[in-house]
Structure 1
Amino acid sequence: MHILHRAFWLLSLVVLTACGAAEPKWAPDAEVARSHYVHGAPYQLTLFTVINNRSGNGGHSSLMVNAPSERLIFDPAGTFYHPHLPERNDVHFGMSDRAVDFYIDYHARVTWHVVEQTIEVSPEVATLALAKVQAYGAVPKAMCATSVSEILSGLPGFEDAPRTMSPKKLMQWFAEQPGVTEQKHYDDSPDDNGQLVQAPPLLLNRGGA
C-alpha cells in the first residue's frame, strides 16, 4: 500500500508540475492590448522543456514565438500564471525579458530544471507560428509536447518534427536542428515553491528588455 501511495504521489507531482488540466481562458481585448510586447529582430522560436533532475524525464514543453508583431509564449496545459500577463487558451501575452525570466523561474526548482533552445527563423515563419499557437485552443493535460510538435511540424523547415507526447523526445529532435542554441536553468527552490516565486508587480517592459 505504501508503494502504491508513493507511486500515486509521484504521478500527481508530475502532472501538477508539468501539464495541468485543460482550462479554456479568454482575456479581454483591453488586457491583451495593454500587454502587447514587441521584442524585435532576430525573429526566433524558443522551445522550453522542463526536465526532472532525478529521473531525467521530460515533464513539460512550451514554445515561445518572437515574431515581428509581438512575442508570446504558448504554454499548453501549463499552470503558469501572472496577473499582468493575460492568457488566451494557453497563450500568454506581454512576454518581455523580465516576464520570460519569471516564466523560467516559475518552472525551475530543486527537482526540475528548464532547457531553453532557440533557433532563428524568417519573419514569415515566425508570423505563421504566431498564428498557429493563437488558433490552437486550450490543450488537455499530458498533451503539451503533442500540441507543440503539431505546431512545429506545420512550419516550413520543421516538417519532420516528431508527433510525440514526450517532451524529452521533442527536445532532442529540436537540438539537432541547424543553428539551435541551448541554455539550461537550475534553481534550488523547493518543489512547493508557490510561496517563493511571487508574481512581481508589473513585468511588462516596452523598452525591449
Structure 2
Amino acid sequence: MMNRRAAMAGLGASVLVAGCAGSVSGPDSTPEQAAAAAYRHPGEPEIILYTMINNRTGSGAHSSMLINAPSQRVIYDPAGSVRFQNVPEIGDVLYGITPQAKQFFESAHARSTYRMLALRRPVDGAVAERALKLVQSKGAAAPALCSNAVSDTLGQLPGFESLGGIWTPMKLANRFEKLPNVSRRELRENDSDDKDAAIAALEAGKTTQAGQP
C-alpha cells in the first residue's frame, strides 16, 4: 500500500490524466537534469507496454512503454499528459523512474473510467539499450500519435518486428501480448474521473496499490 498524497508531494507531481489525443508535450528538461536523475534498476532488462483502456467501451486510449536497460530505466510516453516536476522529461522520455515514480505513473492512469494494462516482456540488455537509444532520438510525438510512436520503436527491435506500423492502442496491445514470454497485469482504481475530485482524494490521503517495483 502507498499513500498517494506522499507520492504526489515527493515527486512534485503535476498530473493531467487524459489520453494522448490533444496532448502537447511541455518544455524539455536539460540533459544535465536528465543525467542527474538517471536511475539504474537492479531487475532484469525488460520492456513493459502500458495501455490505458476505457472501462465502459473497452477501447484503448493511450500507449506508452517502460524500458529497463542496463544503463537506466525510463518511460517513453509519447504525447502523454502525466508529468512530474522532479522526473525530468526530454522529448517524451521520462528519466529517473525509481520504484516510486513507476508506481505513481501507473496509478495516475488508473481511475474509475480507465484501467491500466501492463504487458511485460524480458529482453536482452542489448535490446533494451537499443530501445532506449531509439526513444531518445525520436523527439516529442504529435498529439494522437502515441501508439504509432511506440509501435515504430518496437518494430525496430529484434523479436518485436511484427509490431511496426500499428496506429491504435488495443491493436498494439493485442499483438504485443501474442509474443513469447509476455506476462499480463491490470491495475484498476476507483479515483474520480474529475481531476479536481481526484486531487481532493489525494490530499485526503487516499491509498492505492500500483503493482510491482
TM superposition outliers: structure 1 runs of 4+ over 4 Å: 196-199
Give the conservation status (yes or no) of the 8 Å contact 2:25–2:81.
no
Give the conservation status (yes or no) of the 8 Å contact 2:46–2:123.
yes
Give the conservation status (yes or no) of the 8 Å contact 1:142–1:165.
no
RMSD: 1.7
Look up the match of 2:161.
Answer: 159
Look up the match of 1:29.
Answer: 31
Deviations 1:120-165 (A, max 9, x none): 0001100000000111110011100000000000001111114122
Distance 2:201 2:118 in 1: 19
Distance 2:200 2:37 in 1: 25
Deviation at 1:198, TM superposition (A): 5.6
Give the conservation status (yes or no) of the 8 Å contact 1:40–1:67.
no
**Are positions 1:145 and 2:117 aligned together?**
no
Give the conservation status (yes or no) of the 8 Å contact 1:106–1:197.
no
SS of structure 2 residue aligned to 1:165: coil
Deviations 1:71-119 (A, max 9, x none): 0000000001111101001100010111111001111110000000100
TM-score (normalised: structure 2) = 0.82
Q: Could you list the runs of 5+ residues in structure 2 that have no partner in the other structure? A: 1-16, 204-212
Look up the match of 2:7.
Answer: none
Look up the match of 1:68.
Answer: 70
Aligned residue runs from structure 1 range 103-118, under 5 A = 103-118=105-120
SS of structure 2 residue aligned to 1:81: strand
Give the conservation status (yes or no) of the 8 Å contact 2:51–2:60.
yes
Deviation at 1:17, TM superposition (A): 1.3
Pair member with larger Rg: 1
Distance 2:110 2:95 in 1: 21
Aligned residue among 64, 83, 86 for 1:84:
86
Look up the match of 2:210.
Answer: none
TM-score (normalised: structure 1) = 0.84
**Distance of aligned partners of 1:143 and 1:34 in 2 relative to their CA distance in 1, 3 Å threshold:** same
Identity over aligned pairs, percent = 35
Look up the match of 1:13.
Answer: none
Aligned residue among 39, 42, 56 for 2:41:
39
